[in-house]
Amino acid sequence: MGDAEPLVRWDWIGRNWPSIQTLLVDHVIMALVPVLLGLIIALPLGLASVRWRLLYQPTVSLMNVVYSLPSLAVFIVLIPLTGLAERATVIIPLTFYSLAVLIPAVVDGLGSVPDHVSQSAVAMGFGPMRRLLQVDLPIAVPVVLAGLRVATVSSISLVSVGALIGRGGLGYLFIDGWQRQFYTPIVVGIVLVVALAVLADGLLVLAQRLLTPWARARRTA
């Protein structure tokens, strides 16, 4: 590598844009599917933990343990089951990481419903299901979404570690750049991953504004 190697060679990006795009799409799929699965699983589990308090502590402890496992180690241990360089090998562990963030978020969110509000709902004749859907869950939205933001951002960033087992979306650019001692792919990869994370985070903030219109109404009142 010459001394004058620039951090970014723009012509390289232009020439390789189609393959970068393919990696980007792969990255988005492998990052977002786990968060979506995590949310779908965390809602009933969180509800169950609120309903049966005894379940909560063991679930949270287990999730703490899961969360502390290094992603690379988990990918590797899964290879015999799901295969090398397969999407599932990355998606399954990331789903568990999402769960580890989302279950406590759902439980805390439902816990943030003030007592007088749920009592009013009961007094107004809301059944358990209607109370959940129309009162408890909407009030829980800010806390759940805060968890969702953490889960999404870390999922987007963690996918790239999968490159070490041959399936890491944009993470491939890091391996490529390292092997050729060439900065451009690495910089492109980092910028795109961070941009994806910022974009996803922004969309979730927007979703929160749309889902909780009363929060703004109260502020302006």
Partner 1 sequence: MNWLFDFFGNGDNWSGSDGIPMRLLEHIEFSVVALLLAMVIAIPLGLLIGHKRRGAVLVVVTANAARALPTLGLVVLIVLLVGVGTTWPVLIPLVALAIPPILVNTYEGIRGVDEDLRDSAYGMGLRGGQVLMKVLVPVALPLILLGLRIAAIQVVATATVAAYVGLGGLGRYIIDGLATKDFPSTIGGAVLVAVLALVVQLGFSLLQRVLVSPGVSRRAKVR
Contact residues for partner 1, defined by CB under 8 A: 64-65, 68-74, 76-77, 79-80, 150, 153-154, 156-158, 160-161, 163-165, 168, 170-171, 173-175, 177-178, 181, 183, 186-187, 189-190, 193-194, 197-198, 201
* Residue nearer to partner 1 on the CB measure, 121 or 160: 160
Q: How far is the CB of 177 from partner 1 (least distance, A)?
A: 6
* Nearer CB in complex with partner 1: 44/70: 70
8-state DSSP, 69: S
Kindly tell me which of 41 and 79 has the beta carbon lying closer to partner 1: 79
CA atoms within 13 A on the CB side of 26: 23
Q: What's the min distance (Å) between Cβ of 119 and partner 1?
A: 22
CB 88 within 8 A of CB 82: yes
Residue whose CB is less far from partner 1, 56 or 174 = 174
> Which one, of 102, 95, 37, lies nearest residue 71 by Cα?
95
Closest separation between CB of residue 132 and partner 1, Å?
Answer: 25
Shortest distance in whole angstroms from residue 121 CB to partner 1: 25
Residue 166 C-beta: closest distance to partner 1, Å:
9
CA distances from residue 27 to 11, 91, 119, 170, 205 in whole angstroms, order as listed: 23, 11, 45, 6, 21
Q: With contact defined as beta carbons under 8 Å apart, do 186 and 13 qualify?
A: no
In whole angstroms, how close is the CB of 197 to partner 1 at the nearest point?
A: 3
Q: Which is nearer to partner 1, 71 or 95 (CB)?
A: 71
| Beta carbon nearer to partner 1, 32 or 161 | 161
CB 177 within 8 A of CB 186: yes
CA quadruple 2, 3, 4, 7: dihedral, nearest 10: 90
CA 120, 126, 127, 128: dihedral to nearest 10 degrees? -50
Residues 6+ apart with CB under 8 A from 124: none
